Structures are given as C-alpha cells and as structure tokens.
Amino acid sequence: MTTSAVTTSEPFELAKAAADHIASATGVARHDIALVLGSGWAGAADLIGETTATLPADEVPGFSIPAVEGHVGTIRSIRAADGKNALVLGARTHYYEGRGVRAVVHGVRTAAAAGCRVLVLTNGCGGLNPDWAPGTPVLIRDHINLTATSPLEGPTFVDLTDLYSARLRGVARSVDPGLGEGVYAQFVGPHYETPAEVQYAKRIGADLVGMSTALEAIAARHAGLEVFGISLVTNLAAGISPEPLSHEEVLEAGRAAGPRISRLLADVIAAI
Ligand code: 8IG
C-alpha cells in the first residue's frame, strides 16, 4: 500500500473506532438513524424517544466539544417508540473552527460506521426569501458548496444527483404539507455574508445561506447514507432586511421556534 492510501484510510479507521466506542458505551450494537442538531434544533432529541445513553463527545474518538453556544457537546442514543435506535450528534464541528474537513465530517462517518442508513442534517441559517420569517423551517432540496473544498480525498467521483432524498422530503411534506424547499449555500464563515455576497448567492440559485451541512451531506452520500436536510431560517440574510444581523437574534429565533420545529422533526423521524 502506498503512503497516500494509508493516509486516506485514516478517517474511516477513526470513525470505526468511534462507532465501536459508541456501541460498547451505549450497549446498542447498531443504530438506525443519525441526527445532527444545529442551532435551534436541540429540543427535538427529547421528543424522538427515550434517551438510553448520553456520552460526552470528548470521550468518543475523534470528537471534541463544540465551539458554538446553542450547540450541545454530547452524543445520545435514543430508543424511539417503533424500536429504532437514533444516534444524536450534538457536537457538530464547523469548517470555520480550523480543525480541517476531516473533523467536520467525522460525525457523519461515525454514524455510517455505527450502522445508520439515514442521516438527518439540521441547521440554523439565513434566508433569502423575504416570505420566510425568522422561525420558518425549510426543507433542503439541494446545495451549493462554496467552501472550495471537499471531504473526499483522492479520485472519489461521487454522484450528488438527488443528494437530499426526494423520498424523505415527501415524508416530511406528508407530516407538514406547508413546508417549503430551498437550495442551501454553504459559506465558510464565521462572519456572515455581505449584502453583495447574499445577492451573488441569490443569482447562482441559493435560497438559504449557512456555514454547515453541504460538506457533511457529501461525506454522507459517499458513505451510502440517505440524507434528509432541514434548515431553520433564524434571520433574513444580510441586506434582505434592513436590520443588521446578530448572533443574539439567531439564538432568540431558535428559542422561539424550538418547540414547534422539534415536534415537526420528531414526527418526521417517526414517519421514516
Ligand atoms: I443561524 O445569515 C445563521 N447562520 N452564512 N449566514 C450564514 N450563516 C448563518 C446565517 C447567515 N444565519
């Protein structure tokens, strides 16, 4: 084996180690569905089912505690009413933390190694459609990756057509027929966009702007997971509204919408 091949397999070995740790620490040999809960979505975990184990993220190989207020640093195993085991990853690593793209997608690869078939990616984001008031959940139909990087290394030519499962979007709309859909553009951040960048995003086809999700979704498709993405619009993107953006506003919109979107997500999980 060449040196580069050994290097490329490292992330998957680390994910296997994390999955083995999760299996032994939770007593659940295989999980079925994984969730990454972003800004505003943390409350969903409690509605999905009974938490059977809570692991501090920094005890699981490759994970670290998150840098952002509004994100929790635990990995939870939840038993749903239908017997499915959900793995809730509360410790998302953002690309802007500077730990590299491997760290960003480690949770996704761990979910796949833990047996999951479905990955639910949630986030808080800025909205470009003025009809989507702060607190509106929006299904992710597709993404535009503006990070100028990929979680895949080497000649890994993965097809991203239908990356965000049409089947799972249909399930979500059967739960809430009023849900809108949009294209999510991942910027690096951690600064929010300028109004000019928001207009650029709009012209290239984005409806939502954020700092997560796209890189994770790519790694998920590569790992064979079926991806469901849903955003909470916590603010209108810069320049869409005359108000300047504040992280306080983002947290407040998340708090206010929390119970309603948590119920929605729990109902979607139950219907999957
Ligand atoms: I919450 O307006 C949240 N995250 N890039 N822009 C970007 N990320 C965000 C925004 C936003 N709001």
Q: What is the pLDDT of residues 217-235, one digit of tens each?
A: 999 999 999 999 999 999 9
Q: Which fold has domain 3-271?
A: Rossmann fold (3.40.50)
Residue 73 DSSP one-character state: -
DSSP readout, 194-257?
PHHHHHHHHHTT-SEEESSSHHHHHHHHHTT-EEEEEEEEEEEPBTTBSSPP-HHHHHHHHHHH
**CA 256 vs CA 41, 138, 200: distances in Å:** 11, 16, 30
> Residue 143: its pLDDT value, please?
98
Mean pLDDT, the chain, integer: 92
Residues within a 6 A CB radius of ligand 1: 39, 124-126, 187, 189, 192-193, 209-211, 234-235, 237, 245, 250
- Residues 8-19: pLDDT tens digits? 789 999 999 999
Ligand 1 center–CA 102 separation, angstroms: 22
CA-nearest residue for atom 4, ligand 1, is: 125
Ligand 1 center–CA 245 separation, angstroms: 9
CA-nearest residue for atom 3, ligand 1, is: 125
Residue type, 91: A
pLDDT tier for residue 252 given thresholds of 50, 70 and 90:
confident
CA-nearest residue for atom 5, ligand 1, is: 210
* 8 A C-beta contact, residue 116 and residue 34: yes
DSSP readout, 91-159?
-PPPGGGSS-HHHHTHHHHHHHHTT-SEEEEEEEEEES-TTS-TTEEEEEEEEEE-SS--S--SS----
Atom of ligand 1 nearest to the CA of 38: 1
User: How far is the C-alpha of 92 from the C-alpha of 73, rounded, in Å?
Assistant: 8
Percent of the chain with pLDDT over 90: 79
pLDDT tier for residue 3 given thresholds of 50, 70 and 90:
very low
Atom of ligand 1 nearest to the CA of 123: 1
Domain boundaries, the chain: 3-271
Q: What is the mean pLDDT of residues 192-213?
A: 98
Ligand 1: which of 95, 125, 193, 234 to mutate, most ligand atoms within 8 Å of CB? 125
- Residues 63-122: pLDDT tens digits? 987 666 655 688 999 999 889 999 999 878 999 999 999 999 999 999 999 999 999 999
Contacts 24+ apart (CB under 8 A), 47-51: 47/262, 47/263, 47/265, 47/266, 48/78, 48/80, 48/86, 48/88, 48/265, 48/266, 48/269, 48/270, 49/78, 49/79, 49/80, 49/81, 49/86, 50/78, 50/79, 51/76, 51/77, 51/78
Atom of ligand 1 nearest to the CA of 126: 2
Atom of ligand 1 nearest to the CA of 186: 5
CA-nearest residue for atom 2, ligand 1, is: 126
> Residue 39: its pLDDT value, please?
83
> Residue 246: its pLDDT value, please?
79
Ligand 1 center–CA 107 separation, angstroms: 21
Please state the pTM of the whole predicted model. Answer: 0.94
Ligand 1 center–CA 1 separation, angstroms: 42
Ligand 1 center–CA 6 separation, angstroms: 37
> Residue 8: its pLDDT value, please?
77
Radius of gyration of the chain (CA): 18
Catalytic residues: 193
Residue type, 270: A
> Residue 250: its pLDDT value, please?
75
**pLDDT over 60 at 201, yes or no:** yes
